[in-house]
Amino acid sequence: MAGEPENEQTLIRQALRGSLDAFNTLVLAYQDGVYSAAYRIMGESASAADATQETFITAYRRLSTYRGGSFRAWLLRIATNTCYDELRRRKRRPASSLEDLPGAESDDGLPLPDPGDTPEQITQQNELNRALEDCIRALQADQRLVLVMSDVEGFSYQEIADSAGVNLGTVKSRLSRARAGVRQCMQAFRELLPSAYRLDSE
């Protein structure tokens, strides 16, 4: 996750006074995080980019509603809401292009993390993460949203329930099914890999 800029609150105040430059400094600090959440929720890059841009525009317009606390969490709430609205919109109007379908391998090069590990570790970790991304993408949109918010972005059940407009029980059961889905998916992935790639020692 992107570290919070030292002068984050200063930048926010300047942005509130209309400084787009100050806000864009915040955008650059958080765009990876917002895009990641959007990508994992939406399942593909084009929608993720749209949602990310929309998130920052909304954030700029509603900056006066930011009431302190974690600015990253505030941004991610807007991001997940944006994604959730888009997913609901698609539910009413089913996807017209293959690219919109979860699991479509149309992504122009999945953006990769940039760790400082050895090449072999990078390869391993990249493989694992790519598998994980695939497993997340294979989930139903509702479950994906809850899983990403909870297990990737670290929101509480209550925050997810508020954001998605469902009750706590629904959040719990969706999360449970999503985790079960990813767990099964990763199980299948590991069985295809040499044992050296397995993280869990048998």
Partner 1 sequence: MSAEWNVSDRDYELLSAYLDGGLAVAERQALERRLAAEPQLRDELAALRETVSLLHQLPPLKAPRNFTLTPAMVGQRVTPRRGVLSIVTSPAFSAVTAAAAVFVMLLGVFLTVQTGGMSQSVAPIAMQVTGAASLMSPANTGDVTTERSLDTVGSTSNQGVPLGGMGGDAAKSTTDAPPTSPTPPPEMDIATTASAPGVLAASAPQSQGTVEEINAADSGAGAGAPSMAFAVPAGTQAGEQIFNTYAVTETPEAAAADSNFAAASLAQPPEPGNRQETNVASLPTAAAMLTLPPTSTPLPTFAPPTVSPIPAVTENQAQTNATDALRGDGFLQEESPAPADDAATVVTSLPELPVNVILLGVGILLLIVAGITTFIRRRS
The letter for the amino acid at 196 is: A
With left for phi above 0 and alpha for psi between -120 and 50, is residue 154 left, alpha or beta?
Answer: left
Q: Give the Cα separation of 151 and 169 in Å (integer).
A: 17
Among 11, 23, 43, 71, interactor with partner 1 by CB under 8 A: 23
Question: Is there binding between residue 98 and partner 1 (CB under 8 A)?
Answer: no
Q: How far is the CB of 73 from partner 1 (least distance, A)?
A: 14
Q: Record the tokens describing residue 192, joined without a space.
A: 């295809």
Closer residue to partner 1 in complex, CB, 92/201: 201
Q: Give the Cα separation of 2 and 31 in Å (integer).
A: 9
Size of the site for partner 1 (CB under 8 A): 58
Stretch of 4-12, 34-42, 86-94, 95-103 lying at the interface with partner 1 (CB under 8 A): 34-42
SS (H, E, C) 33-102: HHHHHHHHHHCCHHHHHHHHHHHHHHHHHCHHHCCCCCHHHHHHHHHHHHHHHHHHHHHHCCCCCHHHCC
Q: What angle do CA 90, 103, 107 make, to 5 degrees?
A: 95
Among 20, 73, 95, 193, interactor with partner 1 by CB under 8 A: 20
Q: How far is the CB of 165 from partner 1 (least distance, A)?
A: 20
Question: Is there binding between residue 74 and partner 1 (CB under 8 A)?
Answer: no
Of the candidates 164, 132, 129, which has an alpha carbon nearest to the alpha carbon of residue 146?
164
Stretch of 5-13, 80-88, 91-99, 147-155 lying at the interface with partner 1 (CB under 8 A): 147-155
Question: Is there binding between residue 12 and partner 1 (CB under 8 A)?
Answer: no
Q: Give the Cα separation of 79 and 103 in Å (integer).
A: 21
Contact residues toward partner 1 (CB under 8 A) are: 1-2, 20, 23-24, 27-28, 31-36, 39-40, 45, 49, 52-53, 56-57, 60-61, 108, 110-115, 128-129, 132-133, 136, 147, 150-152, 154, 157, 172-173, 175-177, 179-180, 182-184, 186-188, 191, 199-200, 202
